[in-house]
Structure formats: C-alpha cells, structure tokens
Amino acid sequence: MNIIIGKNSSLTRSLSIELKNSIILSANSSNLISKLKKYKNKKINLIINNFYPAYKINTISNKDYENFNKLSLKIIFDIFANLKPKNINKIIYTSSSSVFIIPQNINNFSNDIFNRNLQGSFKIAAEALVSNYCGKNNIKCYIMRVFNTFGDPNCKFSFIEKLIQLKQKNKKVKLINGGNSVRDFIHVRDVAKIYKYFLKNNIKSNYFDIGTGKGYHIKDLVKLLDFKNEKILKINNVHERDHSIANNIRLVKILKNFKFVNVERYIKSKANVKSKNKILYVKDNNFKDFKPSGHIIYGAGFAGNVILKELKKSNEDVLYLIDDNIKLRNTSINGTPIINFTDLIKLKAKINVRRVYVCIPSFEKNKLESLIYRLKQHFFDVRYLPQKKYLISDKLDLNDFKINEINQILKRKQHEQKLIKNINKKNVLVTGGGGSIGSEICRQLCIQNVKKLICLDQSELAIYNLKKKLGSKSIFVLGDMSDENLVRTIIKKYKINLVIHAGAYKHVNILEENIFSAIKNNIFATAILSSISLENRCDFLLISTDKAAEPKSVLGYTKRLAEKYCEYLNTFNNNKSYINIVRFGNVFGSSGSAVNNFLDQINNNQLITVTNKKATRYFMTIIEACFLVLQTTNSKFKNKTFVLNMGKPINIYKLAEYFAKLKSKINPTYKYKIVETGLNTGEKMHEKLFSTNEKILYSDTYLKVIKKKKIHRVLFEKKYNELVSAYTKNDKQKLLRILKRF
C-alpha cells in the first residue's frame, strides 16, 4: 500500500496515475493523524510531498513563512509518531533544488526578501529529519531533490506552463537578468515514474537529484516561443541563481535506459510552435562539484565549544560537531548541527572536510589514538587537543599547530585536498612505505580509495607501525626494494599499475660517510624499480629532492643520478605508461627534520643549534607535499620532472627563533640561546629547486614542469657502467669522482 501526503500538487496527481489505488491525504487536513492511524498496522510505502508552493514564497512575510515551515516539520514529526516503523517499507521525501541556494556563511535571513534561503534551509532540516528517522529505524529512504517540473497545465509552480500560457494569451513575459539563468526541467510524469521504479526495486537509501542533467537558458526558451520585443519585460534580480542543473549521475546509473520527456518538443507541441530551430542545452553542472566546505569538530563539550567560537571568530566554516552522546543528537550549538560518527561517514562524499579537530582532552592516550586512527582513514588532516594532563604543559608539539598557522610561518597558502581522478582504479606499490613521506602517501591513497595498496619497507618496525595506522585492507611487504626478484614478483602478483618510489636514504651527514649504502639504495634500487616498471608497462613516479639540483652532497649526487636514470629509461619508453619525477624540498616535521630537532632542543631546555644564521631552506607541510605528488599522477604531462612550488625559502635561524619565542610566551621563565655550528660537509647555505640548465616548461600555483637536456644514451651507459664497476671494486674515491661528473 502507498500513502501519499500532500493532496494539491501536480506530482501527487501524476503519482495517482502511476501508483493506482494509493491513499492520498492532505497535509493541511485537521484529521490527517486520525486518518493515518487507520493504516498503523499495515505495511506501507510513504511518500511525503507536502511543501509550500514556491510561487507563493514571496507573497508572505518571513515570519509567516517560517511559521508555516515549522508547522510542516511538526507534521512530519507527527506522521512518524503515529506510524509503526516496522510496518514502513520505504519512505520517499520530496525535496527540491532550493537546498542548493543557501550561502555557506549565512548569519541571518534579513536580506532574504524572497524567502528562498528560508525555503532551502527548511528543506534541508526536513531532509535531515526524515533521513535520521529512517536510519534509526532501518527504513529504506530516498531524499528526492526535484528540479523544475512541467507537464501539468494546472500547476502554478511550473515556469514552463506559465510561459506557454503567457504566449497563448499574448501577455508579457518577465525576463530576469537577461534570461541568462540556466534551469533543468523534468516532466512531472517522469518524476512519478522514477518514484514508482524506486518503490518497486531494491535500491539503497540515498539523496538523489531528480532532473535530466540538461540545463536550458531561459532566454532560449523565450526565443523558442517567439515573444515579440514589446512583450518582454527585462528585470534585474540579484537573488536569482545563475545555474540550476541536476547532478543525476547516481540516478542515471540506477535507471539506465530511462528516456526523459524532451522539454523543447513539449513546448512546441503545447504552444503550437512550428519553428524548426533547436535550442542548445548546457551539460556542465555547477552542482555536480558543489560541496559545502569547512571543518569538523569532534566533541561537543566545553573544549569543542571553545574551538567552535575561535574558528567562527576567524571566519572559518564549521560544518558539523561530532558527538556520540544520544542526548545531543539532532541538536546544535550556535547554529552548527551535532551528528554522530556514523552520520559523518555517510555524509563524507557530500561534503569537503578541510580539517577535523578532536576536542576531547579527557580521553586516555589509547582511546585518543584509536579515534585518530579511525578519523585518519577517512580524512586528510586531523588535529587534536593534548590530553588533560598535558594542557598545562609548556612543551611544544607540532600537532598543536593548525595547518593554517604552519602555512603562515611558511608564508604559503593552504592547498585544499580533494579526490584525484582515476587514482581509485589503480593497484599501487609504495616503496619506503614506512617512512615519513611514504606513510603519508599510503594514508592519502587509502582516503583516495585506491583499488589495491601494497606498502614495501625494509624496516620491520616501520611495517608494524604502518599496519597499525592503515589497518588490514592494505598489503604490507617486508623486504629490500633493491631485490630484483622481490620487486618483479610484487608487480606481477598484484598487477601493479603505479609504483610510487618514496624509499631512499635522505640524511645528508650520514650519507657522506656511507656512500656505498647511498648508491645501493638511492641509485641501484631506482634503476631496478623503474626498469621493471617499464618492462611491465607500469607507471613509475620517483620522489626526488631539491638537493638533486646543483648537488654538493652524496645525497644530492645519488638523487640526481636516480633522476637521470629515469630520464635515460624514458628514451626507450614507447608505452602509454610514464616515468615521472617529482622534486621538492623539506617537509615540515618529517623524521629527522630541522623543525623536530629545534622542538626537541627547546622542550629539553638545551642550546638551539643552527648551521648558519644566513642558511635558508624550502619547506612545506607533509600533507600538502604528498597530495601534490599524488595529483601529478593525473597530469597531462608524461615522462617529465615536476617541481612542487615551495614558495620562498625560510631562514633557518628565524624559524628556530620563532619556536623559541613561542615557548617564552607559554613559559615566561624560559630563556633560550641559539648557536651556530657551521655547515657540515655536503650542506649548502641555500638550496635550489632547479639546475641552471633546466627550463620551466609549464607553471601553475602549485607545481612546475621542467625541461631538461636530453640524455645521450651511449655516454650515459658508459658512465653508469663505470659507476657499477667502481662500486663492485669498493673504490670509494672513484665512486665520488664519477658521481660528481654525472
């Protein structure tokens, strides 16, 4: 049995034709509830169509409209209160495209002279109410955001019907903003047929845009009906939304071969238009990629409230507060809704979460780590307040710095993370998966939902820690990346499409004394991995360093040769696969970094050491660096070297001083001293991102693509063979000479 709430709508009239013998009840009827109670013990599908007609929303005051909508919400509450959830098969709630018009930072509705923000906000509230009720009671639920309907001449709501009637009666038409607005029009019978299909078939609960996915300019529809100039009144309206097109990708996947009624043919037939002219439709969709963007606060207690106020003071958008306390569900703080963790994960695909703040300082360490692990499986950037026992501590921790604060130190703009096209179709091998860069790449690949992730590292402890972070969905391999048989087995066994080579020895001073290990790990391993990738037509991405540009250290020389080996292989590469290189500088807070060293010295009241007061280094956050690395996998440039835009170099002395002064603010008794130790062997005063013979081929805000001198195969092979020979003979001095000559 189907029960339809909302008697006087064109959709209900169409549904009564498609769904024979449906019970139709008026939402405005005083005896609605008593009528509903008759069906309390029967199995039903419930369709809720009641809403205030859009054509009337500017005819009443904001307050009256608000009261009406509150009453509409109360009716939904009353309906649910008087039905048995176990007897409800499915619920369809008819929402509208008005949910997309609400500004993200709306503070009041005083300028909302057409009540459109109110209409949208109450629709969202009703959607949430229906969705939460269905989720709690395990009822199939379809939130249908219906776009502009046509097909019922008696519908005062329909723009198309109004337009046809104006033409037939030779009346004037109002053309708002030159008619440049784009609208998606769907026949009301098509909507009814879609509802019928959803009721008959086993479809998962979700939100759906109910439209054709095609948008028409209003001016083109007016032109189609051949209105004369004197019959067109041109009006400007700043409240009119420019584009309103359904993102019906999810809907079309379900309906497959569904054919929508063509609005152009309908207009011509109803208005008796004989013109053979065709109007163009717009398919690119502003709503398709529209996602509310902002922060999430985990914990709706005192700490969460404080962080919420601070973020709002800074004009930051907070999307939701997360709390698993049942009493707080469906409530809000300062207009920010409170939902639970399960609801957040369901909403994840519909919102763009910039950062998650965990604000539960009462959590014990194990519980806090467990929560952060869960969150990091879904979100790029998770920050947390220290535990209660550390809140009075004067110790500095990088975790306590918000990403935007770090970017202020680095004088760079935060890059917003998003889903990367096609990466979810790949089987990916990450070498050095347990290191700072490798583990962050692995974490982000999990968020990007790659098909298969294989993490390779030679450190047992690193693999153990990575497995704790990522869980059992990924595959963890303990082994040496320079083991040719192992690499070949992994690539073939797991059908790898992309190798991200993050494994390397990276400590300048240590490698000066360990040239053989540096060559084996940084050069030979790269040669093996890239060659086997090429052989198996597998994309290969080498993570390089700014120390490879104009090198002065063993690290720089080995990474430069690793780059050159990839360029050498590209001279043979006729495949569709690529061998790309991504070069960047220091990442903020990676293991062994200068920043971590400064914080250790400051927290332990030691002398703060810098190599030279004038020394500078490039820095960026590890999250941004790894995201930009992954973004290059979708670039149109193949077999090229990418250099991440690191901004301006940072003075190391001033960076150390910044952290020391910060400690002094927290603890006024703290005194610091910064001493110079002098540059070590292989260290530079200033790093470079490019060599003098490299030219920029392409540049945007976040990365550059460089053009290098073409590799001469014969000369390269000769030098490389000399290197292998010197390595085999344990000739350290000759190795160094050969490396410098490359």
Q: Is the CB of residue 597 less than 8 Å from the CB of residue 603?
A: no
Percent of the chain with pLDDT over 70: 86
Kindly report which listed range (31-45, 411-425, 448-462, 487-501) carries the lowest average pLDDT score: 411-425
122-149 pLDDT per residue, tens: 777 788 889 888 988 999 999 999 999 9
Q: How does residue 238 score in pLDDT terms, banded at 50, 70 and 90?
A: very low
Largest Cα–Cα separation, the chain: 98
pLDDT digits (tens, 9 = 90+) for 507-534: 998 999 999 999 999 999 999 999 999 9
Burial of 648 (0-12, 13-18, 19+ CB in 10 A): exposed
**The pair of three-digit structure tokens given for residue 516, joined into one six-digit string:** 């053989």
pLDDT tens digits, one per residue of 637-656: 999 999 998 888 889 999 88
Q: pLDDT at residue 730 above 50?
A: yes
User: CA-CA-CA-CA torsion for 289, 629, 611, 513, nearest 10 degrees?
Assistant: 160
CA gap 248, 214 in Å, rounded: 9
pLDDT value at residue 101: 57
- Read off the pLDDT band of 112 (50, 70, 90): very low
Mean pLDDT across 65-87: 78
User: What is the number of helices (H) and of strands (E) in the chain?
Assistant: 25, 34
pLDDT of residue 392: 40
Closest CA to 372 of 391, 359, 354: 359
Q: How far apart are CA 196 and CA 161, in angstroms?
A: 24
Q: How far apart are CA 511 and CA 500, in angstroms?
A: 23
Residue in the block written with tokens 């398709």: 288
**Would you state the structure tokens that stand for residue 289, as one six-digit string?**
């990629």
Predicted local confidence at residue 569, as pLDDT: 95
SS3 label, residue 174: strand
Q: What is the pLDDT of residue 574?
A: 83
Q: What is the pLDDT of residues 437-471, one digit of tens each?
A: 999 999 999 989 899 999 999 999 999 999 988 88
Secondary structure element (H or E) that encloses residue 642, with its range: strand 641-644
Q: Which of 49-53, 514-518, 618-622 shows the lowest per-residue confidence on average (mean pLDDT)? A: 49-53
Residues forming beta bridges with residue 448, ordered by sequence position? none
Q: Among candidates 455, 458, 463, which has minimal Cα distance to 429?
A: 455
Q: Which of 56-65, 499-508, 676-685 bottoms out in mean pLDDT, i.e. has the lowest?
A: 56-65
- What's the pLDDT at 613? 92
Transcribe 390-426 into DSSP letters: GTT-----GGGS-HHHHHHHHT-PPPPP-PPTTGGG-
User: Is the per-residue pLDDT at 389 higher than 50?
Assistant: no
**Which residue, chain included where needed, has tokens 């972070």?**
469
Active site residue 564: no
- Higher-confidence residue of 63 and 671: namely 671
**What would the mean pLDDT of 209-225 be, rounded to a whole number?**
89
The answer to which of 241-250, 581-590, 692-701 has the lowest mean pLDDT is 241-250
In DSSP terms, which residues pair with 175 in a beta bridge? 234
Q: What number is the average pLDDT over the span 705-719?
A: 91
Residues 6+ apart with CB under 8 A from 668: none
Q: What is the mean pLDDT of residues 627-635?
A: 93
Grouping H, G, I as helix, E, B as strand and the rest as coil, residue 182 is strand
Share of the chain above pLDDT 90, in %: 42
For residues 273-293, average pLDDT: 63
Q: Please tell me whether residue 137 adopts helix, strand or coil conformation.
A: helix
- pLDDT for 488 beyond 60: yes
Separation of alpha carbons 742 and 731, rounded Å:
17
Determine the Cα–Cα distance for residues 46 and 435; give it in Å rounded to an integer.
Answer: 54
Q: Which of 90, 506, 547, 564 is catalytic?
A: 547
* Whole-number pLDDT of residue 466: 92
Q: Say how many CA atoms lie within 13 Å of 530 toward its Cβ.
A: 30
**Residue 50: which pLDDT band, with cuts at 50, 70 and 90?**
low
Q: Which residues pair with 173 in a beta bridge?
A: 232
pLDDT reported for residue 102: 47
Per-residue pLDDT for 33 more than 90? no
Among 321, 344, 147, 175, smallest CA distance to 247 is for 147
Band (103; pLDDT cuts 50, 70, 90)? very low
Average pLDDT rounded to a whole number, residues 398-423: 63
Q: Which two tokens stand for residue 601?
A: 């010295």
Q: Select the more confidently predicted residue: 596 or 633.
A: 633
Mean pLDDT of the chain: 84
Strands 641-644 and 703-707: antiparallel
The single residue listed with the structure tokens 């609960």 is 205
On whether the CB atoms of residues 322 and 345 are closer than 8 A, the answer is: no
- SS3 labels along 528-573: HHHHHHHHCCCEEEEEEEHHHCCCCCHHHHHHHHHHHHHHHHHCCC
pLDDT, average across residues 62-87: 76
Q: CA-CA-CA-CA torsion for 425, 429, 434, 437, nearest 10 degrees?
A: -70
User: What are the structural domains of the chain?
Assistant: 2-146 (3.40.50.720), 293-393 (3.40.50.720), 508-517+524-711 (3.40.50.720)
Query: Residue 62: exposed, middle, or buried by beta-carbon count in 10 A (0-12, 13-18, 19+)?
Result: middle
| 8 A C-beta contact, residue 738 and residue 561 | no
d(CA 124, CA 130): 10
Q: State the pLDDT confidence band at 407, using cuts at 50, 70 and 90.
A: low
Q: Is the pLDDT of residue 351 over 60?
A: yes
Average pLDDT of span 533-549? 95
Task: Return the SS3 of 89.
Answer: strand
CA–CA separation, 644 vs 177, rounded Å? Answer: 43
Q: Which residue has the higher pLDDT, 353 or 534?
A: 534
Q: What is the pLDDT of residues 152-201, one digit of tens each?
A: 998 878 899 999 999 888 898 888 877 878 899 999 999 999 999 999 99
Mean pLDDT over 36-63 rounds to 71
Q: Determine the Cα angle at 75 with ends 68 and 80, to 5°.
A: 155
CA–CA gap between residue 1 and residue 88 (Å, rounded)? 10
Task: Determine the pLDDT at residue 66.
Answer: 57
